[in-house]
Structures are given as C-alpha cells and as structure tokens.
Amino acid sequence: MQPRLVVILADQLSNDIASLRAADPQRDLVVLAEVDDEARYVPHHPQKIALLFSAMRHFAEQLEQQGWRVHYHQYQPQGPARSLLDVLHALHAQHDFAQVLITQCGEYRLQHLIEQHWPAALGIEVQCLQDDRFVTTPEQFAQWAKGRKQLRMEYFYRNVRRQTGLLMEDDEPVSGQWNLDANNRKAYKGEVPIPPQLQFERDDIDREVLALVEQHFADHAGELTAFHWATTRDDALQALQHFIEHRLPWFGDYQDAMVRGESFMFHSLISPYLNCGLLQPMEVCLAAERAWQQGKAPLNAVEGFIRQIIGWREYVRGIYWLTMPDYARLNRLENTRPLPAFYWHGDTKMQCMKQCFASTFQYAYAHHIQRLMVTGNFALLAGIEPQQICDWYLAVYADAYDWVELPNTLGMVMHADGGYLGSKPYAASGNYINKMSDYCSHCHYSVKTATDEGSCPFNSLYWHFMQRHRQQFSRNPRMTMVYRSFDRMQPQKQDNIIARAEHLLDNIEAL
C-alpha cells in the first residue's frame, strides 16, 4: 500500500491527535513544517514563534523515538517552500503519496485552503479528521444553539458540566451553585505572596530556535529575553502542577486583580499549552477538581478555573465554527478609527495601558482582565476598527489562535457582533481599573475627573462611547441606569465631558 502524508500543525502537538491515531507508523510519513506563510500572516510575537518552533521540534523528536517516520521542515526564509502546501507538494513529487491525512485546524483561513485548494493542487485526496481534543464538537454546539435567540455561555457551560460530570453530584452542581463568580472579584492588597514564575532548563533545541527567531523575526513587536515557556509535554505538565500547588488556591479571589509590575498574579499560564496541544482540557480540569476534593483549593477558585476551560473556551470555539467566515467581517458599531501606534510600541502616559503593554511585549502574555478591561476597553471606547484590534491580539499573545481570539476580541471586547456573544458591551470608565488595580495611583492622568485637562481618558471616552451609541444601547435593560446617570448631570458637565473626549480622540497618538 502507498504511504500517506500525515500533517501535524503547530497547534496539534499531541500524541492523541486524530490524524496520528488513524495513521500507520510503519507506512506513513509524518510532516511538521516551519513556514513563512504561517509565521508572518500577522506579525506574531517572537516568543510565540519560538514556543511553537521549539515545541514542534521537540514533538518531532519524540515521534521519531516512538518509531514514526518523520519529515521535519525547518524554517528556510530564502527557500522555495513558503507555505505548508509548498512543503507537501515537494514531498509528493518525490515519493508519490496516496493521500494527505490531517486533523481539522483551528483557523478558518487555513481550513478553507486545506479543503478547497489542497486536493487539486496536490492531485490526491485530502482527508480531514475532526479535532476531538476538545470536550464538545462544533456539531454539538450547533445543536445546542439551534432555535436560541441568544447564545449565553452560562447555559452552555451547565450542559458541559453535566456532560463531563465535573464538580457535579448526580445532576446538580456541588454546593448547589453553578457559578461562583460573585466571590472572585477582589482587589489584591498583598494578602498572599505572589509565587515566582516557574523556570525551565533550556536544551540545545530551545537555544537553536531562540537564536533563529532572534535573527529572522526581530522586526516583530515583542522581546525574547524573558522567554520562560515550556516547550515539551513534560515541562507543560510541570507547569500545570506548579499552578495547582502554588496559584490555584488564590486564583478565584484575585483572578480580576491587577498590580503594577506583576504580570502573572495567580493565573495558570497554561493556555499556550492547551492551545498548542501539549496539555488536554480534561486532564487540566480533573487536576483542578482533585485539588478541591483533597482540600487543597477552595471551590470558588476551582469552579472559576474549570468554567474558563469547559465553559468559555468551548463556547467561543463553538461560536467561531458556527458563524465563520461571516463573523470575522462584522462591525455592528461601524468603527473605523485606526489602531494607535502605541499598541505596537507601548509608549503611553496611561499607566494601565503601559503596564499591560509591558507585560505583552516582555512575556507575550497578559491576563484576561488586562486584555478585556484595559487594552480592549480602550479600543472599544475609542472606536477602533475591529479587524485591526483582532489582528493585534492574534499577533502579540502566545496563546492566540484565530478560533479563540476572534470571538473574544470581535464579540466580547469590541461588541462588533451586536450582542450575539455578550448581552452588553464590556465598557468601563477608569473607576473600574482603579478599583481592581494600583495603576491609577501612579498615572500621569487623574482618575477622579472626566473633564479636566489631566483627567483620565477612560472617563470621558466612556461617556462619549455611550452617547454616540445611545440609540442602540438605551433599549438594553442592563444599561438603562447608565443613561439615567448621564441624564442627571448638568448640561454643562455633559458638554465638557464630550468635548474632553473629542479632544482626546483628535489627539489619540499623544495619550
């Protein structure tokens, strides 16, 4: 029998991936490739590229040790192979393979190319298998969504809890509550020491990749100096255990907190490993559940963590595959403002934004509140064109893949889907940032005013955003109090707030 080409993508670094389960180690050829088209279609953070290249090389080495035949295409910026298809075409021309076997990828752009262009270009069948590393399938999500006017994550999450049995007693949630988020909104005042980041010993593969990325991707925003990511399955498991022991007990209490100079707080730092395949969602959730069962972590922390994985992570993937490609083009608020340059260089007088940019460029990481309520909130209030901010998030974070980043950014951050994903926009003034962080006390701007020359930009931009979208949002029952608050202001104060916001928008690059 003719051999097959078994393609493993950079986000499929798992022994249990469907394409490997369907392949024959004695007959088929496994292909992994570092190619320019995937490394540069957005200017990915150098740490993201280094993480994936190194993890891919380690995974290929592991497959060879297990007896697989592996072709690994290392990055060749001047070579003829610019795309995955180029690599496969060259291999097929040499060896005449019977079929390409691949697992569905996490990006509509590439999946469309695989299904619509690869078979004709290669002249052989391309068999695409379902990615069953997730807890639910796109088909299950579509069935759940059928006939619903609003697709609220909370109700989807409850279904998945029942399906998995996580934190369940028969058909009811332990403690009688599905969601303990009300307990997870504390500001951090130093009550518990923040544990240091886990360090990994670097091997020759890591060092070689870091040198390669430094040489070829130095023009991309972000630094390589503080590269601390795991690049093997064993190290990713160590990172999971470190989180369970040292961060999970306080994750719930402080998951929304932000502190100057503290990029990681009590967050898990495992999303890059989940999203590239080094860790699996159920093993992560079961580890957290065991910590609660053994009395090592409180329920509010464990439930909140598990909800992020089997709730939100599965939910946004379902939204993505249910609505693409039309979803990516949505812009219901009709935003057209270009993304300010400081999103790429981080130089701004807004302390909250500066702190989040510093974490982003130094570590290819910022936690969910920094993304949603600081950099995302500013983009929403300023009316940034959705595609530009979506591309930015996709580029700068180590855990960013289109299936997870697009619904989070276009839907949750920018409300560009008109409320399909979230019932109201996540807009906030500087007061929220001041409540959940110590940023404002070290800022050039004053969070206490919205009209003065040195007033916090978030304050006036918040009201400007609300007013310019009043016709759309005033009918939302969750936002009636917001408009009542503005209407109770003196007309002169209203005018001053709007004037301050318009001045800031006209001079946005100087903020």
First-to-last CA distance in the chain?
65
Helix, strand, or coil (residue 128): strand
Average pLDDT over residues 251-265: 96
pLDDT of residue 309: 97
- Please tell me the distance from the alpha carbon of residue 452 to that of residue 487, in angstroms, as a whole number: 20
Average pLDDT over residues 344-363: 98
pLDDT of residue 21: 97
Asked whether residue 89 carries a pLDDT value surpassing 90, the answer given is yes
pTM: 0.95
What are the two backbone dihedrals, phi and then psi, of residue 337, each rounded to the nearest 5 degrees?
-70, 135
CA atoms within 13 A on the CB side of 279: 27
**How many other β-carbons are positioned within 10 Å of the β-carbon of residue 283?**
11
Please choose, from the candidates 301, 282, 283, the residue with its C-alpha nearest in 3D space to the C-alpha of residue 292.
301
Q: What angle do CA 59, 63, 68 make, to 5 degrees?
A: 150
Average pLDDT over residues 69-81: 93
Specify the CATH number of the domain 341-510.
1.10.579.10
Quickly tell me which residue has 């090389």 as its tokens: 57
Q: Please, which residues have CB within 8 angstroms of residue 451's CB and are 6 or more apart in sequence?
A: 460, 493, 496, 497, 500
Task: Report CA dihedral (340, 353, 427, 364) to the nearest 10 degrees.
Answer: 90
Task: Report CA dihedral (248, 251, 253, 259) to the nearest 10 degrees.
Answer: 140
Q: What is the largest CA-CA distance in the chain?
A: 82
SS (H, E, C) 237-306: HHHHHHHHHHCHHHHHHHCCCEECCECCCCCCCCHHHHHHCCCCHHHHHHHHHHHHHCCCCCHHHHHHHH
pLDDT of residue 149: 81
- Please tell me the distance from the alpha carbon of residue 240 to that of residue 317, in angstroms, as a whole number: 22
pLDDT of residue 285: 98
In which band, very low, low, confident or very high, does the pLDDT at 185 lie, cut at 50, 70 and 90?
confident
In which band, very low, low, confident or very high, does the pLDDT at 240 lie, cut at 50, 70 and 90?
very high
The H-assigned helical ranges of 22-152 are 36-40, 46-65, 84-95, 108-116, 118-122, 138-145
pLDDT of residue 425: 94
Each residue's pLDDT tens digit, 153-172: 999 999 999 999 999 999 99
What are the two backbone dihedrals, phi and then psi, of residue 510, each rounded to the nearest 5 degrees?
-95, 0
CB 467 within 8 A of CB 454: no
Average pLDDT over residues 341-370: 97
Each residue's pLDDT tens digit, 310-330: 999 999 999 999 999 999 999
Asked whether residue 423 carries a pLDDT value surpassing 90, the answer given is no
pLDDT of residue 469: 96
pLDDT of residue 251: 96
Q: For the chain, how are helix, strand and coil distributed in percent, rounded to 5?
A: 55, 5, 40
Each residue's pLDDT tens digit, 434-481: 999 999 999 999 999 999 999 999 999 999 999 999 999 988 888 889
In which band, very low, low, confident or very high, does the pLDDT at 422 lie, cut at 50, 70 and 90?
confident
pLDDT of residue 477: 87
| CATH architecture of residue range(s) 4-129 | 3-Layer(aba) Sandwich (3.40)
What ranges do the domains of the chain cover? 4-129, 138-200+227-322, 341-510
Q: Please, which residues have CB within 8 angstroms of residue 95's CB and are 6 or more apart in sequence?
A: 3, 29
pLDDT of residue 183: 81
Please choose, from the candidates 159, 6, 11, 113, the residue with its C-alpha nearest in 3D space to the C-alpha of residue 69.
6
Average pLDDT over residues 126-138: 96
Each residue's pLDDT tens digit, 470-501: 999 988 888 889 999 999 999 999 999 999 99
Percentage with pLDDT > 70 across the chain: 100
- Please tell me the distance from the alpha carbon of residue 152 to that of residue 156, in angstroms, as a whole number: 7
Helix or strand holding residue 229 (H, E): none
What token pair was written down for 67? Answer: 């007896």
pLDDT of residue 474: 86
The angle that helices 299-306 and 281-293 make with each other, rounded to 10 degrees, is 170
Average pLDDT over residues 393-419: 96
Q: Please, which residues have CB within 8 angstroms of residue 388's CB and are 6 or more apart in sequence?
A: 338, 339
- 138-200+227-322 folds as 1.25.40
pLDDT of residue 510: 97
Percentage with pLDDT > 90 across the chain: 93
pLDDT of residue 184: 83
What are the two backbone dihedrals, phi and then psi, of residue 3, each rounded to the nearest 5 degrees?
-75, 160
